[in-house]
Amino acid sequence: MRALLLGTVVLSALMVGHPAAQAAPKTLVYCSEGSPENFNAALNTTGTTFDANRPIAEGLVAFERGKTNVQPALAERWEVSDDGLTYTFHLRRGVKWHSNKDFKPSRDFNADDVVFSFHRQWKPEHPYYPVSGGGYAYFKSQGLADLLESVEKVDDHTVVFRLKHPETPFVATLGMDFANIQSAEYADFLAKKGAKERIDQDPIGTGPFFLQVYQKDAQVRYRAFPDYWGGKAALDSLVFSITPDAAVRYAKLQRGECHLMPYPNPPDLAAMKADPAINLLQQEGLNIGYMALNTQKKPFDDVRVRRAINMAIDRQAIIDNVFQGSGVVAKNPIPPTIWSYNEQVQDYEFDPEKAKALLAEAGFPDGFQTDLYAMPVQRPYNPNARRMAELIQADLAKIGVKADIVSFEWGEYRKRIQNGDHGMALFGWTGDNGDPDNFMHTLLGCAGAVPGGSNIAKWCHKPYDDLVTEAKRVPDQAERAKLYAEAQRIFKEEAPWVTIAHSIVFEPVRKEVVDYKQSPFNRHEFYGVDLKQ
Amino acid sequence: MLKFLLTRFAVLVPTFLGVTLLAFFLIRLVPGDPVEVRLGERGISAERLEEMRAQLGLDRPLLEQYLDYLGGVLTGDLGRSVVTQNPVLEEFLTLFPATVELALCAILFAVIIGLPAGMIAAVKRGTAFDHVVMGGSLTGYSMPIFWWGLLLILLFSVTLGWTPVSGRLSALYWVEPVTGFMLIDSLLSEEPGAFGDALHHLILPTIVLGTIPLAVIARMTRSSMLEVLGEDYIRTARAKGLARARIIGLHALRNALIPVVTVIGLQIGVLLGGAILTETIFSWPGIGKWLVESINRRDYPALQGGVLLIATVVMAVNLLVDLLYGILNPRIRHGR
């Protein structure tokens, strides 16, 4: 027996010293939820494409892994002029581009690449603008076409962005995936070959991994890029195993066919928690689920009615019933993970009696009738809008308000509520750059209160709007935080929404995965992650 | 025979046109267009929305779009996916072999088990075996594919650990696609063990997709066999004292097979429909999953092209079955 044991020890010692045993590559398998549309985040708005693109491509700035802070990436540092209109980015030197079997880069990353990537999305006359169908939904929805004055190369390592008006969240916007940089040299090479589309299909990037192969609906395979400026990744290769069904993803995780997965089915969470091979990560999502009250319609133009509705709804019951433990009651329009979150804001207490009294004071002693729009789809901020609407309907009935639940196909639904057809509407938002402006101005500012705009409450309140507009222009973050905190107070007082929930995002990860961090933006990032073997 | 073929082809033309019409207009009846699906919650100004629509050519009159599409189809151009910008035909062709491979395995599985089971059930009519086949096929026929697939995964993959959960190959192996058929490509590749791994991955999806055809074939064979066994010539053969095995194997089987062949042909359509669910459960990178995704993204060109190509395959297979039927049953050939 002892001899056997000794033999095993010696043998394993030999194995460790053996080059073949050492060379076993570290491959991390991620069971992703769908196929990426292509490999250019500027063309798409789906998280699936962003995730698949992220190992390959990078922007000027990045978000610190697991946080919402902006940090340098392809730009080493940047300066903002005193008037807030000119941003000078100093680019990192010695950043290598990937290569593929046709294309070998002749130079490092430089200012030409930055100018190319922004002009492509911005200028309709740019030769690459119509390539791959154009579109650039994010560039457009972020309003960059109306914000940018120019993007210019000063020298190989300096780029200047000029804006039409000051916009402090601009740097955070550049950290979003659509602002990733493509190679201008590769673009020229493909244009000469008459194969421009390939820039988005066979991507060349500067990221920690390069694309080995993509088989639609099956897998995306990446290899670590040895010349990555931040140092070679700990993993040797990375595989996205495309698995659309959440139950199947979980089965693969249990079997060890993949190391981690996104978007588990809520009923599986208890079993995941109990599984000793799995770490169930969780954190509050960067989102808000709310019910907007159409302030341009009677009777919601009266603040007393809006407050009464706020008091009449038992939100804890909604959390328990609809979210089943995967959400927390929201009181502000931004989640607590974003800076400037105002802890001091006093939320409305659930108090039907007081609500009734307030309603009588506003001239509706017997209540009134209205419609309640409920989304037809599951969203991160609302797992079951229909059920939520029914609970709200029952609560409101107790104070005499009769709400008819209506629903439409998702595209039609958004169109109608953006037009302001509704009385009350369930909706929500997931943040994408971690700046309070991305919630507070986008969703509640006067600019969005027009038909078609993203302000669903159609709420335009001057004191509030002045604060969030001012906060957009001030460069100092402490100053901005003060303005946003005050804006949150006014928001609660004026009650254009019933703030319902911030959902909790779960991610099961196998124990052998080292140092994976959950991202507040719901990104799935693998540089910096390692595997125990 | 020639006349028979010509009439069959003549019918194909209006059918084909009908499919293009249905594929084009039905999909547009579904509310929401690709641009809105892409934007999600994000609002955007009306003019930029129009600009994006114009880029995709969605702002033109429907009839014009349809004629454009039809013109493309006639010249063999199915357009480009609005989502990926790849040519639709190319996407279809890269994914179709996976579906064919799975469907062939499923139909093979169904025939190999279904035919003998139905035959024996007919011969041993009324015995326990017959009851098991009849009951089993009824259950199989009414099995919801999605539930059945997940049940098998839970039992064989998660609990017993015998089969992999999903996909065509483990992430460990990398096989260069040559023919698109994994069983062939894995043999061509240098990776040892890849073929076995691919075979392993095929087991569960084959069973799930083959269950309904298996049930149909077993029942059809049984009833057809019973009918034939009651015919005069069988009784005559019996009376002449021919061996039982010879009667069943030679005289009865050939005639009993005729309707079964038709049924197998008709199952091709069922298989392609079932593939949509099976491929989704098992993450099988074929046409079914591609169509589901195209619907979700309102990818009009991909859907139109996909539906048209699948219809073409089904029509071609049916034509082939008709021909085979004519060969098996001379009465039909000469009757015309």
pLDDT tens track for A446-486: 988 988 888 999 999 999 999 999 999 888 889 999 999 99
What is the DSSP annotation of A420-459?
A: T--SEEEEEEE-SS--THHHHHHHHSGGGGSTTSS-TT--
So what's the pLDDT on residue B273? 82
Say if residue A134's pLDDT is above 80.
Answer: no
**Beta-bridge partners for B80:** B87
Question: What SS3 state is found at A28?
Answer: strand
Say if residue A272's pLDDT is above 90.
Answer: yes
d(CA B331, CA A252): 54
Interface probe, candidates A129, A178, A248, A275, chain B, greatest B C-beta count within 10 A: A248
- Number of Cβ atoms within 10 Å of the Cβ of A524: 24
CB B283 to CB A245 under 8 A?
A: yes
Q: Residue A237 — φ and ψ, nearest 5°?
A: -145, 165
Kindly state whether A213 is in contact with chain B, defined as any CB-CB distance less than 8 angstroms. yes
Query: Which segments within A313-398 are labelled E, that is strand?
Result: 327-329, 369-373
**Beta-bridge partners for A531:** A513
Give alpha helix (H) positions in A212-268: 246-255
Kindly state whether B289 is in contact with chain A, defined as any CB-CB distance less than 8 angstroms. yes
Closest of B243, B247, B266 to residue B256, by C-alpha = B247
d(CA A368, CA A385): 22
- In chain B, the percentage of residues whose pLDDT exceeds 70 is 97
Tell me the ipTM for this assembly: 0.84
Say if residue A22's pLDDT is above 50.
Answer: no
Contacts of B286 (CB under 8 A, 6+ apart): A217, B95, B96, B98, B99, B102, B275, B279
Kindly state whether B31 is in contact with chain A, defined as any CB-CB distance less than 8 angstroms. yes
Say if residue B262's pLDDT is above 70.
Answer: yes
Say if residue B335's pLDDT is above 60.
Answer: no
Interface probe, candidates B42, B148, B300, chain A, greatest A C-beta count within 10 A: B42
Kindly state whether A256 is in contact with chain B, defined as any CB-CB distance less than 8 angstroms. no
- Terminal Cα distance for chain B, rounded: 8
- In chain A, the percentage of residues whose pLDDT exceeds 70 is 96
For residue A518, the 8-state DSSP code is -
d(CA B87, CA B96): 14
Decide: A332 and A278 in contact? Cβ < 8 Å: no
So what's the pLDDT on residue B138? 94
Question: What SS3 state is found at A86?
Answer: strand
Q: Residue B221 — φ and ψ, nearest 5°?
A: -60, -45
So what's the pLDDT on residue B333? 56
Q: Residue A506 — φ and ψ, nearest 5°?
A: -105, 145
pLDDT class of A11 with cuts at 50, 70, 90: very low
CB pairs under 8 A between A and B: 149
**Beta-bridge partners for A13:** none
d(CA B118, CA B140): 14
Please name the residue that has the structure tokens 């249990």.
A254
So what's the pLDDT on residue B5? 76
Please name the residue that has the structure tokens 């491979």.
B101
Model confidence, pTM? 0.86
If one compares B99 and B331, the residue with the highest pLDDT of the two is B99
Q: Which residues of A, range 46-85, sit inside 8 Å of B by Cβ?
A: 46
pLDDT in tens, B15-29: 888 999 988 888 888
| CA B27, B28, B29, B31 torsion-angle sign | positive
Give the residue-averaged pLDDT of A424-429: 95
C-alpha dist (Å) from residue B133 to B118, B216, B221: 7, 11, 11
Chain B: residue whose CA lies nearest to A30: B171
Give the residue-averaged pLDDT of A34-63: 92
d(CA A500, CA A316): 9
Give the residue-averaged pLDDT of B66-94: 89
So what's the pLDDT on residue A526? 96
Kindly state whether B58 is in contact with chain A, defined as any CB-CB distance less than 8 angstroms. no
What single letter denotes the amino acid at residue B299? Answer: D
What is the DSSP annotation of A167-210?
A: -TTHHHHHTSGGG----HHHHHHHHHHT-TTHHHHS----SSEE
Give the residue-averaged pLDDT of A144-157: 95
